[in-house]
Amino acid sequence: MSIKSLISFGLLVFVPISIAAEWLHWGEGAIFVTSALAIVPLAIWLSTATEEIAVVVGPSIGALLNAVFGNATELIIAVVALRAGLVDIVKASITGTIISNLLLAMGLSMLVGGIGRQEQTFKPVVARVNGSAMTLAVLAILLPTLAIATGGETPPSELGFSQFVAWILLAVYGLTLLFSLKTHRSLYDVGVTEHEHSGDRPNLLLWVGVLAAATLAVAYESEIFVGVVESVTEKVGLSPLFTGVILLPLLGGAAEYVTAVSVARKDNMDLSVSVALGSTLLVALFVAPLLVLIGPLFGHPLDLSFNLFELVAVVVAVAVSNLISIDGRSDWLEGCLLLAAYLILGAAFYFQSA
């Protein structure tokens, strides 16, 4: 049994345990740990269901489903946290997800995939296209930060500027879908599933049910987790900045990390790199602007102005990942370099907010 299967089945036991912890009032610490562990397998099942449905409905609609549901867990957690008024944690999770996808997910993939191999290769054009769009998206998201830092915006106009940028980013996301699903679809044919190799077709009704159940379960567990995350992290001395940048991306991105590492070990770096970069694009172009636009509906407006420390961290992550992936080659040492950069940034966020 694969590591992904072990995690997706083994950790499911924490779903009923977390529910019992909340109903029986076992304490905030127990609720925090059990609900966090419960989200991880549910995120993997949600991602797996999306992939299985994609096999049945075909490459075009399947790619669209993966584009929309690829980061459903992160989006659900962020929406629940935003509705609860945890604006600082939600904003930090946006930059944290970008950093963790580029450094942690890609670093682990290159390290695990490169062990025992001289080097691995992937299509540089995919990395180049995704890297260019990612750089543009990150700069667009963080432009309000520069406007605030230079004193050019007041709070009302700051939100208006962020909402304007949000609509632009959503439009750009639509263009990237058109590019990847229609005009340049051949560039994104980076891997096939076991079903496509064997000729088996998944049970569509079964996996639609799994997708619905996993989505509802993630939403419920997110409610439990968000209800205690602020008080628990404060008790152990963690700031909202560190919680959003480090802890939430680790939970929400568990499925992407497991998928990226597992396919990299099978020497399919094209798919591994596409998972990591595609997840980053989805957060930057879809999740972040959507949160900006729906924030006022919850009575908790969210803008795109981040502190300068987050700005520098994201720029470093984008620059390092682009430099390493632009040649279409990777090895275990480059994976270690990405992981080292992630650990340094993580430690910096911890001590900066201590």
- CA distances 234 to 194, 240, 241, 242, 252, Å, are 45, 8, 11, 11, 21
Cβ–Cβ < 8 Å for 256, 105: yes
For residue 209, the model assigns a pLDDT of 92
pLDDT at 161 over 90: no
Q: Picking from 124-133, 159-168, 270-279, 297-306, which range would have the lowest pLDDT averaged per residue?
A: 124-133
Query: Where is pLDDT greater, at 150 or 23?
Result: 23
Domain that holds residue 90: 3-352
Q: Picking from 126-135, 255-264, 284-293, 330-339, which range would have the lowest pLDDT averaged per residue?
A: 126-135
Closest CA to 93 of 288, 268, 347: 288
Concatenating the DSSP letter of every residue in 140-166 gives: HHHHHHHHHHTT---HHHHHHHHHHHH
- CA distances 28 to 41, 243, 251, Å, are 21, 16, 18
- Whole-number Å distance between alpha carbons of 260 and 144: 32
For residue 306, the model assigns a pLDDT of 82
- What amino acid occupies position 21? A
pLDDT at 59 over 60: no
| Half-sphere exposure at residue 90, Cβ-oriented, CA atoms within 13 angstroms | 28
187 exposure class (CB count in 10 Å sphere: 0-12, 13-18, 19+): middle
- What amino acid occupies position 354? A
pLDDT at 160 over 90: no
- CA distances 246 to 81, 166, 250, Å, are 15, 24, 7
pLDDT at 343 over 60: yes
For residue 16, the model assigns a pLDDT of 94
Neighbours of 244 (CB within 10 A): 28
**What value does the mean pLDDT take over residues 225-251?**
88
Mean pLDDT of the chain: 83
Of the pLDDT bands very low, low, confident and very high (cuts 50, 70, 90), residue 56 is: confident
Lookup result for tokens 């089945």:
9
The H or E element spanning position 273 is helix 269-282
Query: Where is pLDDT greater, at 265 or 274?
Result: 265
Instruction: Look at the chain and report how many structural domains it folds into.
Output: 1
Lookup result for tokens 């900006």:
292
Q: Report the predicted TM-score, pTM, of the whole model to 2 decimal places.
A: 0.86
- Whole-number Å distance between alpha carbons of 141 and 311: 10
- pLDDT, tens digit (0-9, with 9 covering 90-100), for 162-197: 888 899 989 988 888 888 777 877 766 655 444 444
For residue 326, the model assigns a pLDDT of 81
Closest CA to 249 of 137, 89, 108: 89
Query: What is the number of helices (H) and of strands (E) in the chain?
Result: 18, 2
- Whole-number Å distance between alpha carbons of 38 and 43: 9
For residue 194, the model assigns a pLDDT of 46
- CA distances 281 to 160, 277, 287, 329, Å, are 23, 6, 9, 21
pLDDT at 304 over 50: yes
